[in-house]
Structure 1
Amino acid sequence: MFSSLLSSSPLFLLSLLLFLAPPTAADLLYPDCGTTGNYTTNNTYDFNLRLLLSNLTTRTFLAGGYSNATIGQSPDQIFGLALCRGDVNTSSCRSCLNTASVDILRLCPNYKAAVIWYDLCRLRYANQDFLSMTDNNPQLFLKGVDGIPDGDLFDELVQKLVKAVTDWAAFNSTRKFATGEVNFTTAFPKIYGLAQCTWDLKGFQCQQCLQWFFGQIPSWFEGERGGTMLGVRCYLRYNVSKFYQEASILRLASQLVNATAPAAPHTPDREEDESIPEEITSVKSLLIDLSILRVATANFSDVNELGQGGFGTVYQGILPDGRQIAVKRLTISSRQGLEEMKNELALLAKLQHRNLVRLLGVCLEEQEKLLVYEYVPNRSLDTFLFDPIKSKCLRWGRRYKIIEGIARALQYLHEDSQLKIVHRDLKASNILLGADMNPKISDFGLARLFGGDQTEGTTSKVVGTLGYISPEYAMRGHFSTKSDVYSFGVLVLEIVTGRNNSDPSEDLLSYTWDKWSEGRSLEILDPALGHHCQGSEVLKCIQIGLLCVQDNPSDRPNMSTVVLMLNSNTVSHKAPSKPALCTRKSRGAYDHNLSRPIPMSPNEMSITELEPR
């Protein structure tokens, strides 16, 4: 038996529990009459309302399942929307809305606002403009039958299923609709899930709406065989019995039975800092069909576009097994040709580290060149660091962990993996941030592999990003692991200051050096950090940053030394010299000469807690 709880007034609805039965296709779930006033029968508002309901019914079934409309002028203006469940046909949609249009006037007589939910459709109108907002209230919760075997596994699979249908509805469906199933037990062979949003929501708005419902599951539906969460803007439901009409869009694998849908090869999800022993042994094991990637990205829809770069476009997608992916689609005229792609593929296939973006697969069909990576939800570091609003999300403790994570990844690339790799394009936009803001180095298209005892190389084709390229590489084409160390130093100073060194108007190295040499290092701290940081850690990072950008590569520390400095308060190091390419804007010229090292003042050597002035 279902129980029903409206989030705004659960105590009132508790008295109705005995009168509610599990919904069938034609069942009314619940009406909610608004609190914004009443109208008089046969007045202008009454006429406008009846006209609105008639128009919504017709327009919704003609449009294929959703419409919104506004009728009249203030104070008799009315806003409305209608939505049919994504798996119902037009005849059922129209029938449900015709019934809703009659029932909403009968059950909420003379109310200026109301919403009514059915299993197959919902209808809402109001005298206030809710269409310009994403507010999901009011909301209705329907509880399922008690008693589920193996509750821990059930909860885990529900979480997996709900996340998959949420992301598919938000980013892979123009109708903002998804269904899915996952194998469970013999007694209950499958768990079914459904997610839906109104079509006018943007992808991230739909995702946020559904994720809020997802967060309510533990408190509302613990021990239940299913749950239904209905709002004005989105709808989420799961159950051990199938409750929708069409075949599931997504079929997920569980720990018990393999899914029947095709999936990309599995890459272990490990969180250790050390390398993962298992490796992808051949390109063949990485191949993914183009048809799968087209479905996963809604045929590379603009809605799923994550960003563009010099080599092509990156799209978000969802594989049939529910995993989120990022697909790097190289343009035919891309500077990163087949050789660069093979280079990135060969390198990433052998690299496994929690601070490196994982490669999941590749597609080379119909002149397409596609690399498939794990999806990293918080985009790149630069989108936070150089944004005046988002930068406030990067508090000092989080920034310090980001610096540590990047350092560990470089140590792995330079010293700890089976290969010695120079990235050659380390910058803020190539640092992706996971759900917990864990940093992951990406884009290995320009990386170079050193074999045996090789420690450096030379090229006549200098590639990379101005502001991050080391002077010996920019001027003479010499690159080594110390080239990455230089880029890391620039990145550390950007994280501390919030300034973008690749911006031609910035002279971050001179600015930092001047403050350091004057004993006023803490003045360079990003204002977005306020006064909530550990001064000793800030000073340590400034010192590390300056050491890494010294002109002579041999004077720069290796990454194992950097990691040791970051993780210890007792390790000391020589004072840095004047940075490479350090300029003063008033002179308008580069000064490549090294000045004598300037010793740190006592407060700069301290490891006590300091606050910026």
Structure 2
Amino acid sequence: MATEISRTVLFHFLFSGLTFTFLVTFAVSFDPYFLHSCANNIGNYTANSAYERDLNTIFKQITSITKLNYGFYSKKVGEVNAMALCRADVKLDVCTGCLNETISRVKLDCPNSKEAIGWSADCTLRYSNTNLSEKLEINPQTCLYNTGSTADEYFELRLGELLSDLRNKAAAGGALLKYAAGNSSLRASERLYALVQCTPDLSEGDCNHCLDKAATDGIRRCCLKQRGCRVLSPSCNLRFETYPFVEAGAEFPPPPSPSGDRQKEEEEPNKSKRTPVVVASLSVIFGVAVVSISGFLIWKRRNNQDTEYREIQLLDLVEGRIDM
């Protein structure tokens, strides 16, 4: 009896411990800096509808990516359009992990919404029943800010200069990547760090405009005189802090330059010109070999009729190898 009670107590203790561990892990795994916006005016989709199936198909494609692709993904399945943008300094496993988590959070916070957006620390996810590609969207705009504040006008001056420089660099990026990160010195040994990024499908002008609105209206409305802030919109985002936050050594390599593409195109024709020469040379060699073997076999057939069958088999084998 005592043994059974001990086993029951032990079972409940272990079960409670596992349950507590699961709940803690579940809570910790969620990004505490997650923000979302549900477009309630667009309408909802119904359970098990074609829209839900297409949306889940896109989610599966986005979360099973095997190539970082500069952190940007644009998908369309049926009526559903979706975009995902990872922060340009994170690696593939961080990117996919962030997108998995963001999808889970959006599903919870915007159930059955036909249009929604989720912002996490390392990625942004959007989906809609309207086209999203090459379309500038500044609103809805939101932010998270550092509780540390400053009334230093020099801080504001240096921040404005740094964000302006990074904005121009990011906007000038190509169709694969519109991103820039850097830092600037403040008083004494203190430095200011910042990152800006647009969805790369935007034009240079739209990216510049989006980041300008984030650096002016966004900061003014949300985090003026704060020592750190993240301003988030559907098409772009920025962040600044007084400590380094960009992943060292993880920044994307620059996209291929047009000159590199031209050089590759110039090399390709030369390669294609050489290929027929090599093939022709091999054909001549094999042709001579076949003719030689055939002549040898004919000679052997005339001189030794008993070995005719074996020699014909040998000829067939060589011809098979040539065809392969």
TM-score, normalised via structure 1 length: 0.35
Q: Secondary structure at the match of 1:64?
A: helix
- The corresponding residue for 1:122 is 124
Deviation at 1:118, TM superposition (A): 0.3
Do residues 139 (structure 1) and 167 (structure 2) align?
Answer: no
For the Cα contact (< 8 Å) 1:57–1:82, is it kept in 2? no
The aligned runs of 1:348-497 (5 Å cut-off) are: none
> CA 1:132–1:299 in 2, change beyond 3 Å: closer, same or farther?
closer
The aligned runs of 1:158-177 (5 Å cut-off) are: 158-172=159-173, 174-177=176-179
Amino acid at match of 1:85: R
For the Cα contact (< 8 Å) 2:83–2:132, is it kept in 1? no
The aligned runs of 1:165-564 (5 Å cut-off) are: 165-172=166-173, 174-186=176-188, 189-216=190-217, 217-246=219-248
Unaligned ranges ≥5, structure 1 = 1-23, 250-294, 303-613
For the Cα contact (< 8 Å) 1:59–1:67, is it kept in 2? no
CA distance in 1, matches of 2:154, 2:87: 29
Amino acid at match of 2:129: N
Do residues 55 (structure 1) and 61 (structure 2) align?
Answer: yes
Amino acid at match of 1:33: C
Amino acid at match of 1:51: T
Amino acid at match of 2:69: A
For the Cα contact (< 8 Å) 1:29–1:119, is it kept in 2? yes
- Residues 83-105 of structure 1: CA distance to partner in whole angstroms, max 9, x if unpaired? 10000001100111111222221
Do residues 43 (structure 1) and 49 (structure 2) align?
Answer: yes
Give the helix-richer structure, 1 or 2.
Answer: 2
> CA 1:114–1:214 in 2, change beyond 3 Å: closer, same or farther?
same
For the Cα contact (< 8 Å) 2:99–2:125, is it kept in 1? yes
Q: Secondary structure at the match of 1:99?
A: helix
For the Cα contact (< 8 Å) 1:144–1:224, is it kept in 2? yes
Q: Secondary structure at the match of 2:161?
A: helix
TM-score, normalised via structure 2 length: 0.64
> CA 1:132–1:222 in 2, change beyond 3 Å: closer, same or farther?
closer
CA distance in 1, matches of 2:72, 2:140: 19
Deviation at 1:299, TM superposition (A): 8.9
- Residues 311-352 of structure 1: CA distance to partner in whole angstroms, max 9, x if unpaired? xxxxxxxxxxxxxxxxxxxxxxxxxxxxxxxxxxxxxxxxxx
- The corresponding residue for 2:81 is 79
Unaligned ranges ≥5, structure 2 = 1-28, 260-324
Q: How many percent identity over aligned positions?
A: 28
Deviation at 1:220, TM superposition (A): 3.1
Q: Secondary structure at the match of 2:153?
A: helix
- The corresponding residue for 2:279 is none
Deviation at 1:147, TM superposition (A): 2.6
For the Cα contact (< 8 Å) 2:149–2:227, is it kept in 1? yes
- Residues 107-128 of structure 1: CA distance to partner in whole angstroms, max 9, x if unpaired? 2111111111100011111112
Q: Secondary structure at the match of 2:195?
A: strand
For the Cα contact (< 8 Å) 2:70–2:177, is it kept in 1? no
Q: Secondary structure at the match of 1:42?
A: coil
- The corresponding residue for 1:70 is 76
- The corresponding residue for 1:30 is 35
For the Cα contact (< 8 Å) 1:66–1:82, is it kept in 2? yes
Deviation at 1:206, TM superposition (A): 0.9
For the Cα contact (< 8 Å) 1:165–1:180, is it kept in 2? yes
Given candidates 110, 135, 143, the residue that maps to 1:108 is 110
Deviation at 1:248, TM superposition (A): 11
CA distance in 1, matches of 2:32, 2:246: 14
CA distance in 2, matches of 1:105, 1:49: 11
> CA 1:192–1:248 in 2, change beyond 3 Å: closer, same or farther?
farther
Q: Secondary structure at the match of 2:34?
A: strand
- Residues 440-494 of structure 1: CA distance to partner in whole angstroms, max 9, x if unpaired? xxxxxxxxxxxxxxxxxxxxxxxxxxxxxxxxxxxxxxxxxxxxxxxxxxxxxxx
For the Cα contact (< 8 Å) 1:180–1:248, is it kept in 2? no
CA distance in 2, matches of 1:28, 1:85: 14
- The corresponding residue for 1:155 is 156
> CA 1:299–1:120 in 2, change beyond 3 Å: closer, same or farther?
closer
CA distance in 1, matches of 2:129, 2:257: 39
Deviation at 1:157, TM superposition (A): 0.2
Q: Secondary structure at the match of 2:114?
A: coil
- Residues 111-164 of structure 1: CA distance to partner in whole angstroms, max 9, x if unpaired? 111111100011111112232521232221222224326x11101100110011
For the Cα contact (< 8 Å) 2:196–2:239, is it kept in 1? yes
- Residues 535-586 of structure 1: CA distance to partner in whole angstroms, max 9, x if unpaired? xxxxxxxxxxxxxxxxxxxxxxxxxxxxxxxxxxxxxxxxxxxxxxxxxxxx
CA distance in 2, matches of 1:171, 1:229: 20
CA distance in 2, matches of 1:28, 1:60: 26
> CA 1:248–1:39 in 2, change beyond 3 Å: closer, same or farther?
closer
Deviation at 1:59, TM superposition (A): 4.4
Q: Which has the larger radius of gyration?
A: 2
> CA 1:134–1:172 in 2, change beyond 3 Å: closer, same or farther?
closer
Runs of 4+ in 1 over 6 A off after TM superposition: none
Amino acid at match of 2:55: L
CA distance in 1, matches of 2:117, 2:66: 16
CA distance in 1, matches of 2:102, 2:232: 16
CA distance in 2, matches of 1:138, 1:219: 13
> CA 1:211–1:248 in 2, change beyond 3 Å: closer, same or farther?
farther
For the Cα contact (< 8 Å) 2:134–2:201, is it kept in 1? no
CA distance in 2, matches of 1:191, 1:215: 17
CA distance in 2, matches of 1:68, 1:153: 40
CA distance in 2, matches of 1:160, 1:91: 34
Amino acid at match of 1:194: L
> CA 1:230–1:130 in 2, change beyond 3 Å: closer, same or farther?
same
Deviation at 1:219, TM superposition (A): 4.2
Q: Secondary structure at the match of 2:140?
A: coil
- The corresponding residue for 1:97 is 99
**Cα RMSD (Å) of the superposition?**
2.7
- Residues 285-326 of structure 1: CA distance to partner in whole angstroms, max 9, x if unpaired? xxxxxxxxxx9xx89769xxxxxxxxxxxxxxxxxxxxxxxx
